[in-house]
Structure 1
Amino acid sequence: MAYSLLFLAIELLPVLCFVILYYRHLQSKKSSSLEPTEWPVLGHLPGLFANISRLHDWTTAVICGTGGNFQARGGLSGLRYFLTCDPANVRHIFTSNFGNYPKGDEFAVIFDVLGDGIFNADGESWRRQRVKAQMLMTGPRFREFSARRSRDKVRESLLPFLAHHASDQGGSPCDLHDVFLRLTFDMTCILVFGVDTGCLAIDLPTVPFARAMDDVLATLFLRHITPMALWKLMSRLEIGQEGKMAAARKTIDGFVADTIKKRRADKAKNDGITDSAADMLSSFICHEDDDGSNDDVFLRDTTVNLLLAGRDTTGAALSWFFYLLAKNPRVEQKLLDELAPIVASKKKKKKNVVTDDNDDGNNMVTFDASEVGNLVYLHAALSECLRLYPSVPFEHKAVVADDVLPSGHEMRAGDKILVFNYSMGRMEPVWGKDCAEFVPERWVADDQKGTKKLRYEPSYKFISFNAGPRTCLGKELAFVQMKVAAAAVLWNFAVELVPGHVVEPKLSIILHMKNGLAVRVRRRDHHHRHASFHQG
């Protein structure tokens, strides 16, 4: 028996030596120890799946370890992406050679739920839709409507909900991430459809339309890391996550179709524009082109695109903002100091101070967009949050014609590029040695008179709102919503993270929180400004 085992070991020794030598050969081809091993047949897939639970941070380590650029290959699966967070490459792709890097046909296939809407469109279709959306969103009527309804939603839903939890004698935690997603879903539905879905109510109702959007986002992410042939087969059979996608699309299409029908009936009944027509859908219908280009398909695709863009991005950003504030009381106090003069002025004029009937009788303060719009430190803190936790963690681009990037990498027609916004915010060569820290001051500068002002950062370096011709049209609207909501919550409530709760990014095309944001809230006592919530 011993002789047989010895003979077997001798027989296997050359094989073992070969495996060791071949593994060392594979390792020698790597430019960085952080770079995943590229295996025969499987490519980089073993490393990807081994780190799938921490994909964003793992990808960041890989890209940073390889100088900001990495060619990811999936072997025989056919998956092949060029990953970059190099600002010079981003500027080239998004601005200098914009026409050569569209979203591409594969993007439209993956994001088929968006139809022919602006986020899927390229070329003339994209330009035509962007002009229409820009005219609507930059108009004074819509800007006033969005600012007013955002403030009203904060006052009527968000503050009462938090007051209810703050008055809970048991001190039960709430998921602030879910709260903000519900808030921004209601806000966005009001602005896009003119409908308040009532997502953010005290009892946190299940809203099928909102649940459907969640299922869509989960599926869209999985399509990026699943071979197209496989997920298309699953879609055809309506199994797994693709089965949820099919059901979600039916729910979304049904809601949108019913809303379009009601808005057309409103137009016929009112025979003109009413106050309710300030929402996007009503505005599109009331200003339909004579050529009929605003048909139901166009309206469906446009509104779903705008909803996806507005709801989750703002809700996710607010969640990460309060997570960072809870860990950085210094920043929180500076924000309170910035808000204090506005509140003093408001109380002096006795305007915009409301009392919540569910509270103990103390006043709660809401803020108009005009009051918080020019707050330098609040804007800086939100920008710093988006630098570290961009709502869209990566961007997808295709290559039309052969090209050479500023980094020297050759791109061939048909190649696919993923620009990792999440990783760029953590690049030491881009943001300095404190790139991983939450430092709003990096966004603040002094002018010649010593007055604090916002420091400009180019969009190819701070790419949270895209860059170049496709820069986000809703950037100003997003900042208005975030400032109005953040200021109200910050001034009226102290937020504490539940000890032991793990906060980490979720695998999604939007930077959601995997486990939510479990917090406890209490009403602030501004008569004792120096009392620390964390000590109380």
Structure 2
Amino acid sequence: MVERFSKILERAINWSKEFDNLGDWYTHLLRKSPTGTIHIHVLGNTITANPDNVEYMLKTRFENYPKGKAFSAILGDLLGRGIFNVDGDSWRFQRKMASLELGSLSIRSYAFEIISSEIQHRLLPLLSTVAGKEENSVLDLQDVFRRFSFDNICRFSFGLDPGCLQLSLPISDFAVAFDLASKLSAERAMSTSPMIWKIKRLFNLGSEKKLKEAIKLVNVLAEEVIQQKRKTDLSTQKDLLSRFMTTINDDRYLRDIVISFLLAGRDTVASALTGFFWLLTQHPEVEAAIRYESDQIMEPNQEIASFEQMREMHYLQAAMYESLRLFPPIQFDSKFTQEDDVLPDGTFVRKGSRVTYHPYAMGRMERVWGPDCLEFKPERWLQNGVFTQKSPFKYPVFQAGLRVCLGKELALVQMKSVALSLIRRFDIRVTEPSRTPRFAPGLTATVRGGLPVLIQEWRT
């Protein structure tokens, strides 16, 4: 028994010798499992790529699979009581409030104004400057997307413009602190035991000391913004924080809610766009099809597509969904069982144990997507040229059931707006197209070393 445990532990530690990413190792193990579910005893984690299990966790027995106290502890210092770190009544309250706000026409229009402004006045001029240089200048497109997303989500959430995407590409203290806090919070989850980071936090040592300092800076800025908002006429403000302040008086609670939206809206969009443009380099025929489709709908020199025009671009929507299938920004998501249970595939899960569904692996499972599951094939989403949804439990990129992502449509509009603007204006090529993306540990999928690209103006 000890010998078997040692072999399992050795394989868990040495996965990088065989696979580029930890997610690829899990995919390999899940493919070999008859049920599409495995149990990693060393980590005490049941991992599944079975759509029936996903539906059971996120819909059928939703109440038995909350985030759990273990997850809340890991992100508690950064997210506090924000929507992504709570269960029960607190989650329901924030969910209802956020649903009302994000579903309103005025907030969607406000978000689109911000996106369009950032693209026209910062993103396009930056890339045009790089493309206009005589020598071939390499630009880290992942860094550009992270800056773009951070500007957008700060303006949308706080009404604050950090200006990260200005031509000089300035360093934002807030962005640096936020990135560090996110990274170090994620590293807590990778500790062999939660006692390690809890002891370090108790004695204010190492990474926990750095985390505390980073969160302190984030808190100072958030508190300053909230205090400034208190001095204004909130009814004239359009940002998310101002809207929440009309119903919530607890400043700490406001901070937690908005920081959660900041985390969700920044890294996920940047990650999705990074994967999308890496795939376009591999598949110029998809890029050409997007250009052709947009030429049929948009004016020749039009930089930003309208809501109505984007709704007509079924191939673009299909390409975006297909990219997210292969490179989901959130590669896995864990819950902790309230009571003993048996998943639909017969897997027993004990009370208090961790159960993880794995969108990254699911997108690479032949039993879920067919023998061409590893191919980037937007056509799989089209029926007679019209985009057609798949089961969200087969494709839980935006979660599913009661926790389905409220910002899904806003995120897609942002991603499609950026993709269209860049594809119609530039020829963008990854400098090392044969290099498989390797992801750094974190809350979202971030490519190690970024996404270096060469950029030229597109000429028909």
TM-score after normalising by structure 2: 0.95
C-alpha separation in 2, matches of 1:481 and 1:153: 10
Cα contact 2:146–2:266 (8 A) shared by 1: yes
Q: 497-506 or 141-150: which moved more?
A: 497-506
Structure with higher RCO (Cα < 8 A, 6+ apart) = 2
Q: 211-220 or 123-132: which moved more?
A: 211-220
Deviation track 1:244-280 (CA, whole Å, cap 9, x = no partner) reads 211210111111111111111113xxxx522xx1110
Matched ranges for 1:334-345 at <5 A: 334-344=289-299
Cα contact 1:185–1:311 (8 A) shared by 2: yes
Residue 234 of structure 2 corresponds to residue 281 of structure 1: no
Deviation track 1:417-444 (CA, whole Å, cap 9, x = no partner) reads 1211111100110001111110000000
Deviation track 1:298-342 (CA, whole Å, cap 9, x = no partner) reads 110000000001000011101110110011011111001011123
Cα contact 1:107–1:120 (8 A) shared by 2: yes
Specify the code of the residue in structure 1 equivalent to 2:431: V
Cα contact 2:154–2:161 (8 A) shared by 1: yes
Cα contact 1:497–1:518 (8 A) shared by 2: yes
Give 1:22 shift: 8.5
C-alpha separation in 2, matches of 1:443 and 1:215: 37
Cα contact 1:369–1:484 (8 A) shared by 2: no
- Which residue pairs with 2:30 in the alignment? 63
Specify the code of the residue in structure 2 equivalent to 1:505: F
- Which residue pairs with 1:389 in the alignment? 327
Specify the code of the residue in structure 2 equivalent to 1:515: G
Cα contact 1:392–1:509 (8 A) shared by 2: yes
Matched ranges for 1:74-93 at <5 A: 74=42, 79-93=43-57
Matched ranges for 1:117-516 at <5 A: 117-226=82-191, 227-267=193-233, 273-274=235-236, 277-285=237-245, 287-288=246-247, 293-344=248-299, 353=302, 365-446=303-384, 452-499=385-432, 502=435, 503-516=437-450
C-alpha separation in 1, matches of 2:119 and 2:100: 27
Give 1:297 shift: 1.2
Cα contact 1:191–1:279 (8 A) shared by 2: yes
Give 1:500 shift: 6.9
Superposed CA RMSD in Å reads 1.7
Deviation track 1:511-532 (CA, whole Å, cap 9, x = no partner) reads 1111100000001012xxxxxx
Cα contact 2:278–2:433 (8 A) shared by 1: no
C-alpha separation in 2, matches of 1:95 and 1:444: 27
Deviation track 1:461-504 (CA, whole Å, cap 9, x = no partner) reads 11110010000000000011001111001100010111378432
Specify the code of the residue in structure 2 equivalent to 1:234: K
TM-score after normalising by structure 1: 0.82
Can you give the 5+ residue segments of structure 2 that lack an aligned partner in the other structure? Answer: none
Cα contact 2:74–2:186 (8 A) shared by 1: no
SS of aligned partner of 1:458 = coil
Cα contact 2:46–2:355 (8 A) shared by 1: yes
C-alpha separation in 2, matches of 1:252 and 1:183: 19
Specify the code of the residue in structure 2 equivalent to 1:70: I
SS of aligned partner of 1:273 = helix
SS of aligned partner of 1:386 = helix
Sort the Cα spacing of 1:453 and 1:249 in 2 relative to 1 into closer, same or farther, 3 A. same
Give 1:73 shift: 1.8
Specify the code of the residue in structure 1 equivalent to 2:151: D
SS of aligned partner of 1:111 = helix
Specify the code of the residue in structure 2 equivalent to 1:435: C
Query: Of residues 114, 118, 126 in structure 1, which corresponds to 2:79?
Result: 114
Deviation track 1:75-116 (CA, whole Å, cap 9, x = no partner) reads xxxx41111111110010100110110000111001111101
C-alpha separation in 1, matches of 2:190 and 2:205: 17
Cα contact 2:144–2:165 (8 A) shared by 1: yes
Q: 256-265 or 500-509: which moved more?
A: 500-509
Q: 317-326 or 231-240: which moved more?
A: 231-240
SS of aligned partner of 1:367 = coil
Query: Of residues 430, 451, 454 in structure 2, which corresponds to 1:517?
Result: 451
Cα contact 2:201–2:208 (8 A) shared by 1: yes
Cα contact 1:373–1:483 (8 A) shared by 2: no
C-alpha separation in 2, matches of 1:438 and 1:188: 29
Can you give the 5+ residue segments of structure 1 that lack an aligned partner in the other structure? Answer: 1-20, 27-37, 348-352, 354-364, 447-451, 527-536
Give 1:44 shift: 3.8
Specify the code of the residue in structure 2 equivalent to 1:523: E
C-alpha separation in 2, matches of 1:69 and 1:127: 30
Cα contact 1:394–1:509 (8 A) shared by 2: no
C-alpha separation in 2, matches of 1:166 and 1:56: 35
- Which residue pairs with 2:68 in the alignment? 104
Give 1:343 shift: 3.1
C-alpha separation in 2, matches of 1:453 and 1:239: 56
Specify the code of the residue in structure 2 equivalent to 1:57: D
- Identity of matched residues, %: 35
